[in-house]
């Protein structure tokens, strides 16, 4: 009992004393005027000293990966910065998934025609699963090879904060050399309702297909996607602004492809100007003018493939003085130097050719040159290219129009055109013609350009590019034994 009374008295005393103690603390806190606890003081602390490296590559696409690996192999302290997944457009939203979908579309076409009696069907969902599996494999492979090469990978948005300095989040790097290889993105459709349409990036996320589709554009991507999706059973309308498809390709090949696409069910509308996109009752309506007449077409989805713009926003280029061109691409000289000392750029973020092999070749040559190894630059005057449509197109060198302009007189140029039905098409019961066209110097017979339309064209044109670099002439072709039976033998006359 005495202990309890003592304990109670003690607690009562403590209870009385407690408010006094709290007041004393309040006074102490109020008297301190906590300057050191003001957030402004924390933010004003001196930033950490920038970390020194030799080479920073901004962008983990084909060009960036190639440059980083090559530099690291030369013993250079290399950091690669990527805000998305390693591999860039080519791996994730371009060449690789597109080519795989093209293969799938080819099987879909075969199963629907030549092998219709088998009851087989190529399903879009299955194709997307296989595409995603390959993309994941390539992404892991790219990352593994970078690590094995000794490249440090940082994920985040990079910004040039000062000459020779790059800020990634809370970290700042100081580098002797900086490479910009940030790629490009689909161009937005700048008409009312343009925000409603899909882009080529979106296609690879589709888990099912619309029954009908309007594709706006007449270049590589528009033609390829129109061809691929139509072979999966989608009803496609292709709205082309120009008077023919693929303006940069030879006119005879462009016309032949337009005819082939039309025969496959793609409705091609030339000389169109899209003015409005609207959505109502689960469908889209695309309004356009054609030769002064207002027209419209309705579909379950709309895809705009009207070009790609360089990824230059948010990099701090203007602040450090990196010059941009008329198309908002980074301006570089023949050695890929920008207007700022120590800053270089390659690939799609510049105003050059937007092709994966071009970016890779530029990047490797630049890394060699910057870090002590001299090598020969790829010949960018002879660039083979392909359109993976059905039928496919392969081209290298000058078109007929370009050759005549360069020669000054039409009579200085001659052409050879061959049209034939391949064994592949005859087996499938398809009468579609393949077209091979050679552009020649009329006097010497030297081949100035080769333009092919056939599913084998992309594979053939790669070897033909080498032949052109070595100065192949029509006489060389005619005296070389061709391989039979192939479509390539048509080149040999």
pLDDT of residue 423: 85
pLDDT of residue 176: 93
At 461, phi and psi to the nearest 5? -65, -25
**Does 122 show up as a binding residue in the annotation?**
no
Domain-located, residue 111:
yes
Domain termination residue (choose one: 276, 306, 336): 306
Q: Is the pLDDT of residue 323 over 70?
A: yes
Domain-located, residue 7:
no
β-sheet bridge partners, residue 345? 180
Do 111 and 250 belong to one domain?
no
Do 416 and 464 belong to one domain?
yes
Domain-located, residue 156:
yes
β pairing state of 447-453 and 434-441: antiparallel
Count: domains in the chain: 3
| Strand segments (E) across 325-424 | 343-345, 385-387, 393-397, 413-420
pLDDT of residue 31: 39
Do 167 and 315 belong to one domain?
yes
Do 357 and 424 belong to one domain?
no
> What's the domain range around 477?
384-491
Q: Tell me the average pLDDT across 296-307.
A: 97
Q: Tell me the average pLDDT across 351-378.
A: 90
Domain-located, residue 207:
yes
Residue 246 vs residues 35, 114, 243: alpha-carbon distances, Å: 67, 29, 10
Q: Is the pLDDT of residue 358 over 80?
A: yes
pLDDT of residue 34: 42
Q: Is the pLDDT of residue 454 over 90?
A: yes
Q: Is the pLDDT of residue 465 over 80?
A: yes
**Does 243 show up as a binding residue in the annotation?**
no
pLDDT of residue 19: 43
DSSP states of 106-139 as a string?
HHHHHHHTTTGGGT----HHHHHHHHHHHHHHHH
Q: Which of 358, 326, 368 has the alpha carbon at shortest distance from 346? A: 358
Catalytic residue among 155, 451, 476, 484: 484
pLDDT digits (tens, 9 = 90+) for 403-440: 999 999 999 999 999 999 998 888 778 889 999 999 99
**Does 352 show up as a binding residue in the annotation?**
no
Do 69 and 175 belong to one domain?
yes
Domain-located, residue 346:
yes
Q: Tell me the average pLDDT across 271-288.
A: 96
CATH no. for residue 161?
3.50.50.60
**Does 123 show up as a binding residue in the annotation?**
no
Active site residue 147: no
Q: Is the pLDDT of residue 254 over 70?
A: yes
pLDDT band at residue 93 under the 50/70/90 scheme: confident
pLDDT of residue 98: 74
Domain termination residue (choose one: 324, 343, 371): 371
Structure tokens at 180: 């910009």
**Does 457 show up as a binding residue in the annotation?**
no
**Does 307 show up as a binding residue in the annotation?**
yes
**Does 224 show up as a binding residue in the annotation?**
yes
Long-range (24+ apart) CB contacts under 8 A made by 88-92 are: 88/59, 88/60, 88/61, 88/62, 88/63, 88/64, 88/183, 89/61, 89/183, 89/184, 89/348, 90/61, 90/62, 90/356, 91/61, 91/62, 91/135, 91/138, 91/139, 91/142, 92/135, 92/139, 92/204
Do 102 and 216 belong to one domain?
no
Domain termination residue (choose one: 262, 285, 306): 306
Domain-located, residue 29:
no
Q: What is the pTM of this model?
A: 0.81
Q: Is the pLDDT of residue 13 over 60?
A: no
**Does 220 show up as a binding residue in the annotation?**
yes
The Cα–Cα gap between 94 and 221 comes to 9
pLDDT of residue 107: 65
Q: Are 215 and 222 in contact (CB under 8 A)?
A: yes
Do 481 and 405 belong to one domain?
yes
How does the average pLDDT of the chain come out, rounded? 88
pLDDT digits (tens, 9 = 90+) for 186-213: 999 999 999 999 999 999 999 999 999 9
CATH no. for residue 390?
3.30.390.30
pLDDT band at residue 369 under the 50/70/90 scheme: very high
Query: Residue 141's Cα: distance from chain center in Å?
Result: 19
**Does 223 show up as a binding residue in the annotation?**
yes
Q: Tell me the average pLDDT across 444-466.
A: 96
The Cα–Cα gap between 71 and 58 comes to 14
Do 126 and 172 belong to one domain?
yes
SS3 per-residue string spanning 247-292? CCCCHHHHHHHHHHHHHCCCEEECCEEEEEEEEECCEEEEEEEECC
Do 293 and 317 belong to one domain?
no
**Does 38 show up as a binding residue in the annotation?**
no
Do 180 and 221 belong to one domain?
no
Percent over 70 (pLDDT), the chain = 87
pLDDT of residue 38: 44
Helix, strand, coil content of the chain in percent (nearest 5): 40, 25, 35
Q: Tell me the average pLDDT across 324-332.
A: 95
Domain-located, residue 196:
no
pLDDT of residue 101: 74
pLDDT of residue 47: 56
Residue pointed to by tokens 């052409």: 415
At 407, phi and psi to the nearest 5? -80, -25
**Does 126 show up as a binding residue in the annotation?**
no
Q: Are 265 and 296 in contact (CB under 8 A)?
A: no
Do 283 and 431 belong to one domain?
no
The residue count for the chain: 493
Do 112 and 234 belong to one domain?
no
Lowest mean pLDDT segment, chosen from 98-112, 131-145, 285-299 = 98-112
Domain-located, residue 45:
no
Q: Which residues contact 441 (CB under 8 A, 6 or more apart)?
A: 407, 412, 413, 448
Report which of residues 373 and 247 the model is more confident about: 247
Q: Is the pLDDT of residue 96 over 90?
A: no
């Amino acid at each position: 009992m005495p202990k309890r009374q003592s304990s109670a008295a003690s607690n009562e005393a403590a209870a009385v004393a407690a408010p006094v103690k709290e007041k004393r603390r309040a006074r102490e806190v109020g008297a301190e005027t906590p300057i050191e606890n003001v957030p402004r003081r924390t933010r004003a602390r001196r930033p950490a000293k920038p970390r020194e490296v030799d080479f920073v590559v901004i962008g983990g696409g084909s060009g960036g990966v190639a440059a980083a690996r090559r530099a690291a192999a030369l013993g250079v302290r290399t950091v690669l910065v990527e805000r998305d997944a390693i591999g860039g457009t080519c791996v994730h939203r371009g060449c690789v998934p597109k080519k795989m979908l093209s293969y799938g579309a080819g099987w879909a076409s075969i199963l629907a025609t030549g092998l219709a009696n088998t009851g087989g069907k190529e399903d879009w969902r299955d194709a997307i699963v296989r595409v995603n599996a390959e993309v994941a494999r390539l992404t892991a492979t790219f990352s593994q090879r970078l690590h094995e090469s000794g490249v440090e990978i940082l994920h985040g948005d990079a910004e040039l904060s000062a000459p020779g300095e790059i800020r990634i989040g809370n970290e700042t790097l100081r580098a002797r050399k900086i490479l910009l290889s940030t790629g490009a993105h689909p161009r937005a459709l700048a008409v009312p309702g343009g925000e409603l349409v899909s882009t080529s990036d979106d296609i690879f996320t589709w888990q099912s297909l619309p029954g009908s589709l309007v594709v706006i554009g007449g270049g590589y991507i528009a033609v390829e996607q129109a061809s691929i999706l139509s072979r999966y059973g989608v009803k496609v309308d292709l709205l082309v602004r120009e008077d023919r498809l693929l303006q940069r390709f030879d006119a005879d090949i462009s016309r032949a492809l337009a005819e082939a696409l039309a025969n496959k069910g793609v409705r091609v509308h030339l000389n169109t100007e899209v003015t409005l996109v609207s959505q109502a009752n689960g469908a889209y309506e695309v309004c356009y003018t054609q030769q002064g007449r207002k027209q419209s077409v309705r579909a379950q989805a709309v895809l705009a493939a009207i070009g790609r713009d360089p990824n230059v926003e948010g990099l701090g280029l203007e602040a450090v003085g990196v010059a941009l061109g008329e198309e908002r691409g980074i301006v570089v000289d023949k050695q890929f130097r920008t207007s700022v000392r120590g800053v270089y750029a390659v690939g799609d973020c510049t105003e050059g050719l937007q092709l994966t092999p071009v970016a890779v070749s530029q990047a490797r040559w630049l890394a060699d040159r910057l870090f002590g190894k001299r090598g020969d630059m790829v010949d960018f005057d002879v660039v083979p290219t392909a359109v993976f449509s059905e039928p496919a197109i392969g081209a290298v060198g000058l078109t007929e129009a370009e050759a005549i302009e360069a020669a000054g007189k039409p009579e200085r140029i001659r052409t050879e055109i061959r049209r034939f039905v391949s064994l592949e098409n005859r087996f499938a019961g398809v009468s579609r013609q393949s077209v091979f066209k050679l552009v020649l110097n009329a006097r010497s017979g030297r081949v100035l350009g080769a333009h092919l339309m056939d599913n084998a064209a992309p594979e053939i044109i790669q070897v033909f590019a080498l032949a052109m670099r070595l100065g192949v002439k029509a006489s060389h072709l005619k005296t070389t034994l061709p391989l039979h039976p192939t479509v390539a033998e048509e080149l040999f006359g």
